[in-house]
Structures are given as structure tokens and as C-alpha cells.
Amino acid sequence: MKITQNDIILDSDPRIRLKSEEVELPLKDEDRELLQAMLEYVKNSQDEEIAQAEGLIPAVGIAAIQLGIPKQMLAVVVPDSDGIHEAALVNPKIISQSVQNAYLENGEGCLSVKDEHPGHVFRHARIKVRAYDLIQDKKVVLAASGYFAIALQHEIDHLSGVLFYDRIDTVNPWKEDEEAEVI
């Protein structure tokens, strides 16, 4: 299975707002194949040569609902100063979160959102997520901070039908939080 840009649904498609269903474990072959293809899409989208050849939009994550499949599955590949954080998660649940916020200085984007939605999206600076991880082939608890935490929260939001721009303050989109970590 290979995912292309044409497989990704946009925010104009009402399916993007569906709540995703839990996935039965152990994974069925079709779910394993889908999640592996999602992970591969994200990795390939970050390789300039492959992305250009295959017409992929660069991404750090994707959720199954973005393919019109309402299953609690997501793939994230986040390069940062610590190296590369990769996860291919099934049934992810945030089990703890910091009081401190974090946000991307220039705002967030999304494969399913073509229009500009400028503004800060406040998220937790640190989270712990319980899930089954396809890469490690076991149930895990991931501790995430910084950009990795933001990417995970963005994708987990998709599983509830929430898009990043739903979290932007409509009155003051660029408002700041003095205590927040700015990335």
C-alpha cells in the first residue's frame, strides 16, 4: 500500500470531523499495512528528493482520519535537536500533561488544511501518551516534549475531529503566553 497526496482528505470533507474508533489489538494485517504506509508517507515527505518526485507535501505527522479512515492510528516523525522522534501509534491516549504550554512561533499547518489560518496554537509543553507502537511492536508510554509533544497532540486531536485552527483565539490569534515554551 502506498499513500499519495491524492489520498488525503481536506477540511472541506465532513469526514475529517468524525471521531475515530478504537482499533482492535493485536493489529489485523490491513491495519498494520495502513499504519506502515502512513509512517512511510511522513518519512518520504521529509526527503526532498522523494517528496519532489512523488509530489508529497512535507509533513511531521498524519492520522488515519486524514485518509478518510476513522481509526485511532497516527504516525509522527519529528526531527529536532535530540535526533529524530518516530512513532506509529494505535489507540493513543494522553495520560499526563504539563501545566506549561508550548506553541510553534509561526503557527501550525496541516496536510488536510490548504487555507492559511494564522495564529498561535497553545498545547502542553510535555505529555505522556499510552498507546501501542507499531515501530516497537508493543504497548508503550511515551514521554514527549517540545516539537514532538506538539506534533503528537496535533495528530491526537484529529482522532476527535479537532483541527489546529479550532484552537486559535479568534479575537487575538497571535496572543502570547509569557510562561509558554516557544518553538
Domains and CATH numbers, the chain: 5-182 (3.90.45.10)
Question: Would you call 75 helix, strand, or coil by DSSP?
Answer: strand
Mean pLDDT on 111-119: 96
Give the type of residue at 28.
K
**Can you read off the three cell numbers belonging to residue 55?**
509530489
Structural contact between residues 147 and 174, judged by C-beta atoms closer than 8 angstroms: no
pLDDT, residue 80, reads 82
Closest CA to 102 of 32, 137, 154: 154
Is 116 labeled as catalytic in the residue annotation?
no
Name the catalytic one among 30, 155, 178, 179.
Answer: 155
CB atoms within 10 A of CB 135: 14
Mean pLDDT on 96-107: 96
Q: How far is CA 108 from the centre of its chain?
A: 11
pLDDT, residue 75, reads 98
pLDDT, residue 101, reads 97
- Whole-model pTM? 0.96
pLDDT, residue 169, reads 96
Distance CA 183, CA 166 (A): 20
pLDDT, residue 135, reads 97
Place of cell 516539537: 147
Mean per-residue pLDDT over the chain, rounded: 96
